Amino acid sequence: MIVVCAAHPDDEVLGAGATIAKLAEEEEVASIVFSYGQNWPFWKDKEEVMRMRRKEARKAARILGIKEEHFLGLRDGKIEEDFTPDVMKRLKEIFEEKKPDKVFYHSSFDGHRDHLAVNSIMNRFLKMIKYEGEVYKFEINLWNWFNLRPFKIFDVSDTFRRKLKALDVFSSQWVWVAPLKYIMT
């Protein structure tokens, strides 16, 4: 059993999507998403964005082979502040139920505030529960393209297209890319 923890819907796809798809062919995968990422796009109603991102996350999960998603519902930009003892209890319940032998979450080299919060929370949490399984940390290259430090490399040549297909599902997040299409052609 693998548990993938991400700050926002789409982070697990951006950071480790092809690896998740590859491992999901052999093992069951569940995801834990800390926040709906409701602050982007900022000009839309937050409730509408939350519904949209949850729907996108579920569709992307199916593409990657993730069988189950858990949404903790913490505020976008406030993950560390919102991580209360009740949320810790919920996280612990998920881990006790799933008993993962592998855990994936954000790297400490990632520069995004919420990604760093999930890294810090998961480091503390895994230490607290005395987790003995394998730990893998992923980076979102947008935040750290100049300083990547891979510790383990998976051959994902056969699942990379599934990652791209899963990324394509997050249409709510690609608003800023549209003008670049004119530049790239």
CATH number at residue 53: 3.40.50.10320
* pTM (predicted TM-score): 0.87
Q: Are 162 and 21 in contact (CB under 8 A)?
A: yes
Three-state secondary structure call for residue 149: coil
Position 142 pLDDT exceeds 70 = no
Q: How many domains does the chain have?
A: 1
Name which residue leads in pLDDT, 36 or 100: 100
Position 118 pLDDT exceeds 70 = yes
The C-alpha atoms of residue 37 and residue 26 are separated, in whole angstroms, by: 30
Tokens of 12: 């697990």
User: What is the CA 56 to chain-centroid distance, rounded?
Assistant: 13
Element at 26 (helix H, strand E): none
pLDDT tens digit string along 29-79?
Answer: 999 999 988 766 566 777 888 889 999 999 999 999 999 999 999 999 999
| Host domain of residue 175 | 2-184
